[in-house]
Structures are given as C-alpha cells and as structure tokens.
Chains A and B, each alone.
Chain A
Amino acid sequence: MADNKNNLEGFFKNRINDFDKSTDGWDLPNESVWRNARNDFPNYPQKKKWNWKLGALIVIVSTLVLEGGYIYYLKNELVKTSKGIEIIQGQIGNKNNTIAIIEKEVFKIESELEKRKLNKQNLIVSPTQKNQIPIGFILNQDELNKSINRGSASTQIYLNSKDESNSFSIGNIETTGLRNDFKIAVAESTPISFSFIEIENVFPIKKLDLISEYNVVIPKLKQKKEKFELEINYNSLNFETPLTYDFEKLEKKDFGENESSFPIQFKGGGLHLSYNIRPKLWLSVGLRRTIGGFENIFVDKLIYDKSGEYIDNEGKIINEFKIITQTGFSDSGSSIDFEIPNGTNINDGDLFEAEWNYSQKYKFTNIPVGVNYYMGNDELNCFIKVGLGWNKVSLGKHFVEARLSYDNEILPIKRNQESEKELSSQFVNGFVGAGLDYKLNPIWNARASFTLEKNFIQKSEVLRSNSTSKVFNIGLSYRF
C-alpha cells in the first residue's frame, strides 16, 4: 500500500511537470492575460543611460569655451605684460646708463688705486677721527664696519678733507649679514655717484638710507646660496681591535694572557658630498679608504708534541706546528714545519724556545651617511656630526716568521705556511663627532674634526667584542 501511495504521488508530481508532451497549447495562457497583467506590473526605476556622445560633446564644448576664455585672458595679460616690459625696459635703460657711468667710474678708481698702490688703511673713513680721504676710494667691508658708527642714527662719511660740503651721511645702515667680499666706491663726478659694488655675487645690505643728495645706485642682486659641498679629506684612524691568539700546545702559564687588545693604525683619504637641507644643517654622504696593519713579535716556550713528527724525503725528522691567530675582524691561520737535527733528542712534553714574528695588512673602506650641524658666524663655525656608516675591512695574508731552538740549538725552519686566502668582514658603525670649520673664502672652507665610531661587529667565536675607532680628519671643502 505504501508503494502504491508513493507510486501515485510520485507519478503525479513527475507527470504534471512533464512539459515535453504539451502540443495543443492546453497549458498555455492566452496572450490577453499577459497584456492585462503587464499593465499592473510595477515600473522599476530605469537607470539613466550615460549618453557618452552628449558627455563628450559637453566636455569638448566646455574645453573650447574655457580654452577660448583662457586664451582671451592670456592675450590681455600679454598686452599688459608687454606694456609693463616696455616701462621696465625704459627704467632699465635709465639705470643701465647710471650703472654704466658707475662702472666706468669704478674702473677709473680701481685703476687709479692700482696706480697709486694706495694703502687701504688710508682710505678708512672714520667719523670719529674724520680722516681725510681722497675722492675715489674703495672700501672693503672690514673697513666699512670700522668706519660706520653702529647704533647711531647716521654716519658721516667725508669724501674730501673735512669739507662739510663734500661729505654725505649714511643713516640706518643695517649690516647684518654683510660680507667681506664687496667694496664701496665713490665716483669723482658731480653729482657724486655712490654705489656698493658687488664683487662676488652677494649683495647683503638690507637697508641703506643716504641723507644726502648724492645719486645712489644700489644694484639689486639675487643672493646665491650654496646648496652643495664637496670635501676632500685626510684621515688618520685608530682602530682598537681585540686580538686573541691560540697557539697549539702552548704552555699558557709562560705565555700569559691569551687575549689582549692592540690598536691598528689606518691612514688614508676620503670624499664627502653634502647637501644643505636646512639653514646650518647639511646632509652628508662620504667614502673613506684607509690602509693599516700590524706586526707583532712573541717570544715564548712551546710544548713539544712528538705525534707531529714525520720523516721527509731526505730522511730528516720534521715536525709541524700550527698557529691560529684571531683578530677582531677574523681569524688567520698558518703553520710551520721545522727540522729536528740529528743528535737532538726532544721528548714529548719538553719545552722549546719559540720566537714568532707575524704581521698582517688591512684595507678599510667606510661609507658614512649623516648630518652636520653648524654653529657660529660667517667665518668660523664649530659643527657636530652624527650618523651611521657601512664598513668593510679586508684582511691581507698573514705572514709568519719563526725562530725555534731547543737546548740552545736552532731548529731549522723548513717551511712557512702563510694563510692562503684574504678575508673580509663587513659591519655597520655609528659615529658622533665634532669639529671646526673656517671659511677661507666664499667657496672654500678648511675643516678639522674628531670622530668616535662605535663598530657594531657581531660577536662570535671569532669576534670576541665590539671595537671602537677614533678618527682624526682634516679637509678642504668646496661649496657650489
């Protein structure tokens, strides 16, 4: 019965949904039903289609209108600018004439001075002493600084003798930032032209009021600021490196400590390129290449080990000793073969005399990146520097020379085995230093500094401790 029940239900379900056998349209609604129903369908909001053609047209038209407007604006501006240029050109023409006159007069003055080889001291204008000065003089900044009466409302400068009619006053002159490299010139003409002549390319006077009727021309020159600096320097570097040594079969009580520290002196040169990032603050990157090395002699007693003996082709008894020396940078190993002369009887455990002389060369490359901060005046500055550096130390071959003796009898050396490979070690250091910087002229500076460098050498079996190096640096820098 259950089967029959399932049979009936399953049959109905399947057969009713059997759509393949519909042929006469008995199970399709009339078209009118669709039409009627469709009227009651909701109108879902139709998303507006972006009319790209219209959009493109709008963009093009807008662009043309804006471009047209902008061109019109530019034309007007051009007209205005052209008029302005004409006016300025007129003014420049006038000023050029004046400047030409002054330049001519200055040339005359300088030529005259050269001829007369006048001592500049004679040209100092001193309001207090009221020294006589000739018409036509050149005054450098030092002299001007001495001559002007700072803090007063004005300074009387006499151009000729004490003739009041032939003098003028400079009032409210601000000399902040005045440099040495310009001159003051007064021309021998009436009216007298007075000008600060730019010698280099800086005109530092900020304000100058002349209480006179003299024709004053102050050329407005753009102050040039040096942004880069290239320094070439000499370095003396003292590298305090730990040294450990470990001779096989060593009688340590005679030898003493097996770890010590000794300095390695490096000398060399370098370059620094700096960029002025803020006033008084320079970012600097450099390259330093120095060469150094050491040579040490040890005299001690070693314990004889008979197991190292062998007979060579000539029938002689040979023994081999190995030497492993470790430095703060890496380890170096070498060995020597020495002969036991006939008749010499050395027993296992006997002590024999040994004199070792070994040396090694190093090459040290350093690339520091840091900042320098300057404090001081225009001429003399002290500065501090701080930064990080990448370092590479290359170790040369380890040379060993040995003299061995037993019971006052020399044990001839048959073979010196030097270390075969050159090793190198890289590490980072941090540095901090201070120094002095003296301006020789607007572009050249002399400099000396002392730097302490802490080398972050990773500790290992070979490298027992960190090292410190002290660097003395002198150099010349060129600013541009």
Chain B
Amino acid sequence: MQSDIDLIKSILKGKKPAERILYERHRQRWFRLALRYGTSKLEAQDIFQEGLVSIFKDLHQFDSKRGEFVHWSNRVLVNAALRFLKSNQWQNTFTDLKVAGNEQEVSENVLDKMAAKELVQIIQQMPLGYRVVFNMHVVEGFSHKEIAKELEISIGTSKSQLSKAKKALRNMLEEFFLNEKD
C-alpha cells in the first residue's frame, strides 16, 4: 500500500487517480471532524467539501518533516470549518449562556454504552461556541492560546467556553440516558 507521502507526491506530479485513493483513505476521519463542527450532516457536508478543496489546493504546502499528514489535514479541515462557521453562524457565538445544573460525574457505565455516532450527535446539539472550543481543545488538541488566536477571543473566554461546554455535555449525556431508559 502506498504511503500518504507517496500518494501526495503522485498527486503533485499530476496523477489524478492518487487523489481518489487519498480521499478514500481519510474521508471518514475528515467527515467525522466536519460532523462535530456542524449541526447536521447537511452542514457537515458543506464544511467537508470546503475543507476537502482546501486540503487538495494546499497539498504542495504539506511538509512531511514537520508532522504527519493526518494532523496537517485535520488542521486544514478545522480552518475550513471555522471559515464556514464564521461566515454563517458566528454572531454572538461566545456570549456566556447559563448552563443549568452543577458539575456532575458521568459514570463509566454510561459512557461505555455510547457509540461515536451518539457522541457526535450530542456534540452537534451543543451551542456553537461550546462546540467549537470543545472540539478544538479536547479532540483536536489545540491549546487555549491557539484557540484564542484562531477564534480571535481571549484565552479566558476559551477556558470559560470549554468549562461550560463540558458542563453542558454532562447534562446532555444525562438527558440522553434518561430518554434512553424511558
């Protein structure tokens, strides 16, 4: 099997079939990322499409010495997602919302029963600000400083958004299981 780097070299030499191979290899990972930033599959597809174009347009800028292709492509996709979100839903994104309830511990039994699909659905239901900060910090591994820079907010806001996102997430998880029991 050709490595990502070999495929990228082939693409840069104008070999079109290599584009499809690279796409097939990563589309699920990329699309899940898009799903987490969007609120629906339809919205995720728009983010995904924009991100996909960015990845292939900027492919010549990828430097294998500076990191793996997976991380580079994820970051390009996150940027695409942010661009999409900023152009559509960015107003009042980071206003503090009151989140009901206290911090509750979520038992491991509860978490074990959840699949990726349910988790993504829960994330999609979170307010945009929470969702973005949570995704960037928890899943993509951005630091608060990086998040602040990308989203043009303060580090404090980033931390606050994350904290509230997690609270909201716990509430949503509890609610999800209550509904499941019913």
B interface: dominant SS: helix
CB pair B45–A8 under 8 Å, yes or no, is no
CB pair B32–A16 under 8 Å, yes or no, is yes
Kindly supply a per-residue 1/0 record for chain B positions 47-59, scoring 1 wherever the CB is within 8 Å of any chain A CB and 0 otherwise: 0110011001100
- Give the Cβ gap from B9 to chain A, nearest Cβ, in Å: 10
With A and B bound together, what is the CA distance between A48 and B47 in angstroms? Answer: 35
Give chain A interface residues in 4-42, CB to chain B under 8 Å.
Answer: 4-5, 7-9, 11-13, 15-19, 21-22, 26-30, 33-34, 36-38, 40-42
Q: Specify which of B45, B106, B139 is in contact with A29 (CB 8 Å cutoff).
A: B45
Kindly supply a per-residue 1/0 record for chain B positions 100-130, scoring 1 wherever the CB is within 8 Å of any chain A CB and 0 otherwise: 0001011010010011110110000000000
With A and B bound together, what is the CA distance between A44 and B60 in angstroms? Answer: 9
Answer whether residue B92 sits at the interface, using C-beta atoms and an 8 A cutoff.
no
Size class of the B contact interface (CB-based, 8 Å): 35 or more
Answer whether residue A279 sits at the interface, using C-beta atoms and an 8 A cutoff.
no
Q: Specify which of B28, B45, B105, B119 is in contact with A19 (CB 8 Å cutoff).
A: B28
Residues of chain A contacted by B41 (CB below 8 angstroms):
26
With A and B bound together, what is the CA distance between A242 and B91 in angstroms? Answer: 111
Residues of chain B contacted by A4 (CB below 8 angstroms):
105-106
Size class of the A contact interface (CB-based, 8 Å): 20 to 34
- Give the Cβ gap from A13 to chain B, nearest Cβ, in Å: 6
Residues of chain A contacted by B139 (CB below 8 angstroms):
12-13, 16-17
Give chain A interface residues in 241-266, CB to chain B under 8 Å.
Answer: none
CB pair A27–B32 under 8 Å, yes or no, is yes
Say whether, besides A1-B103, A15-B119, A45-B14, A29 and B111 are in contact (CB < 8 Å): no
With A and B bound together, what is the CA distance between A326 and B34 in angstroms? Answer: 100
Answer whether residue B81 sits at the interface, using C-beta atoms and an 8 A cutoff.
no
Residues of chain B contacted by A40 (CB below 8 angstroms):
53, 57
Answer whether residue A347 sits at the interface, using C-beta atoms and an 8 A cutoff.
no
Q: Specify which of B19, B108, B116 is in contact with A22 (CB 8 Å cutoff).
A: B116
CB pair B105–A46 under 8 Å, yes or no, is no
Residues of chain B contacted by A18 (CB below 8 angstroms):
115-116
A interface: dominant SS: loop
Kindly supply a per-residue 1/0 record for chain B positions 78-112, scoring 1 wherever the CB is within 8 Å of any chain A CB and 0 otherwise: 00000000000000000000000001011010010
CB pair B52–A7 under 8 Å, yes or no, is no
Q: Specify which of B11, B14, B116 is in contact with A15 (CB 8 Å cutoff).
A: B116
Query: CB within 8 Å of A: which residues of B?
Result: 11-15, 19-20, 23, 27-29, 31-32, 34-36, 41, 44-45, 48-49, 52-53, 56-57, 60, 103, 105-106, 108, 111, 114-117, 119-120, 138-139, 166, 169-170
Query: CB within 8 Å of B: which residues of A?
Result: 1, 4-5, 7-9, 11-13, 15-19, 21-22, 26-30, 33-34, 36-38, 40-47
What are 19 sample pairs from A and B whose C-beta atoms fall under 8 A apart?
A: A1-B103, A4-B105, A12-B138, A13-B139, A16-B32, A16-B139, A17-B32, A17-B116, A21-B115, A22-B28, A28-B28, A29-B27, A29-B49, A33-B48, A33-B52, A37-B52, A44-B14, A45-B14, A46-B14
The 10 A-B residue pairs with the shortest CB-CB distance in the complex, in nearest-first order? A46-B14, A37-B52, A40-B53, A41-B56, A4-B105, A44-B14, A29-B31, A9-B138, A27-B32, A37-B49
